[in-house]
Amino acid sequence: MKKVFLLLLGMIGLVSCSSKPANSTHEHNYEEIEVKGTCIESGYIQKVCSMCQDSYIIEYTEALGHNFGLWEEVKKASCTEEGIRKRTCFRCNKEQIEPISSLSHNFVIKEEKAPTCLTDGERIWECTNDSTHFYSETIPSVGHQMMNWEVTKQAGCGIQGEEKRKCGNCSYFETRVIEGHNHKYKAEVTKNPTCEEDGEKRYVCEYDSTHFYTETLNKVGHNYRLIEIQNPTCKTEGYKRYQCVNNPEHIYDEILEKVEHNYGAWQVKIPATCEEGTEERSCLYCHETETREVRGHKLVKGKCTLCGYQISSDEVYEILDSVDMIYDDMLGCFKTTTTNPSSIAVLEIKINVDMEFITKPRCNIEASGGFSSDRYYVFVNDIPGSNFLIPTTGSLQFSINCHAGDIVKLEIERGADTPVEAYIALFLEFNYL
């Protein structure tokens, strides 16, 4: 743009310079004159007529511009305020002034106090640009830096222990209780029980072997098993031999009583007459024999039809066995001798002639309802017959038709509420058949 402007000025000058005054009577004698530019104004080259001072510009030169020297600090910049600097043009002494940016703070640590476990520390920052600018900050306390727990006292069975830990930065420490533990017993059999002696089991604490207790193991007793049998005979005893499974040295024998002879049927040895006769039988085990006298009376109502022999009343039957029963001569009957509840009195009779056998039991103490709590049983040749409660008023008559050789067993079972002074009277009667 500046060049266009200079070109236009030159063209104007040429026009001016080419025009001559109307009254001009000479030729121009132009000389070049250079006008130098300044810092802010352009220079130019001018043609000037030496005769008439007519002139025109033929060329412009650019302004030189300022030629400033070095910057000079007029006012120092601070951390918070701008500074000022200036410089001067060597040609025109023009001064150029501009601000210097504020420096901003450049804080560095000036002083520091380290924190402890419980107290805060402090750090002081100071600006390197201006020592009057500083600030402090709090360094928080670090708290205790606790190390690992260490056992100072071992816990025991039922005894508390202790452990301790220290701070890694200071002398502070803390302790805590280690709870005692229960016994942890381990069992061991120190003595095995035998058939006849107790054994022992010892329980020892795995934490402390001085803590222990013992338990008695009861003797196991004999565990016998049958290993041998020797059967008894009519003449010798037998035995069962037992041996203990737990200890083979323990052996005992159970004696088996001699068995009774097992006789066969009676065999006639001497035929029976009214006067004599014998029969014989042998044991099936040992062959031992026994004999008996038998008479050949043909009894009808107790009298022999051959010889006229009359059997006495004492020979009609005979007592084979008696348990808790006695004959009372004053009463003329049998009576019980036991009052134990649930006990049984027995009278066993062998019948020698054909007869109607009559029994009359009666309790000597009256009871409500007319019956005692005692019960009467009748067996003929081990075959159960009737049974009934025994009356306390009057007597109960029970008849059985028997034949010679029959075995009659009479049983009286005492009741649970039988009075101590009570007894049963048993009257026996017969009629020949």
In contact, 298 and 324? CB cutoff 8 Å: no
In contact, 78 and 102? CB cutoff 8 Å: yes
List the alpha helices (DSSP H) in 36-88.
Answer: none
> pLDDT of 322-365, one tens digit each?
999 999 988 888 988 877 777 888 999 998 888 888 888 888 87
Tokens describing residue 247: 């200890």
From 222, 225, 219, select the one nearest 243 (Cα to Cα). Answer: 225
Q: What's the rounded Cα separation, in Å, for the pair 251 and 254?
A: 10
Helix (H) or strand (E) holding 15: helix 2-18
In contact, 364 and 393? CB cutoff 8 Å: no
Q: What is the DSSP string of 125-153?
A: EEESS-TT-EEEEEE------B---EEEE
Domain boundaries for CATH 2.60.120.260 within the chain:
313-432
Average pLDDT estimate for 176-201: 89
Helix (H) or strand (E) holding 268: strand 267-270
CATH of domain 313-432: 2.60.120.260
Which one is predicted more confidently, 99 or 421? Answer: 99
The pLDDT, as a whole number, for residue 175 is 93
- Residue 31: half-sphere exposure toward Cβ, Cα within 13 Å: 7
Strands 424-432 and 383-391: unpaired
Average pLDDT taken over every residue of the chain: 84
> pLDDT of 8-52, one tens digit each?
334 434 434 343 444 457 788 888 888 888 898 888 988 999 888
The pLDDT, as a whole number, for residue 164 is 94
Examine the pLDDT at 312 and tell me if it is beyond 90. no
Q: What's the rounded Cα separation, in Å, for the pair 239 and 226?
A: 11
358 CB-contact burial (10 Å; exposed 0-12 / middle 13-18 / buried 19+): middle
In contact, 116 and 141? CB cutoff 8 Å: yes
Is the backbone of residue 394 left (phi > 0), alpha (psi -120 to 50) or beta?
A: left
Beta-sheet strand order (sheet of 134-139): 107-113, 121-127, 134-139
The pLDDT, as a whole number, for residue 137 is 92
> pLDDT of 124-156, one tens digit each?
999 988 888 889 999 999 889 999 999 999 888
The pLDDT, as a whole number, for residue 1 is 37
The pLDDT, as a whole number, for residue 17 is 39
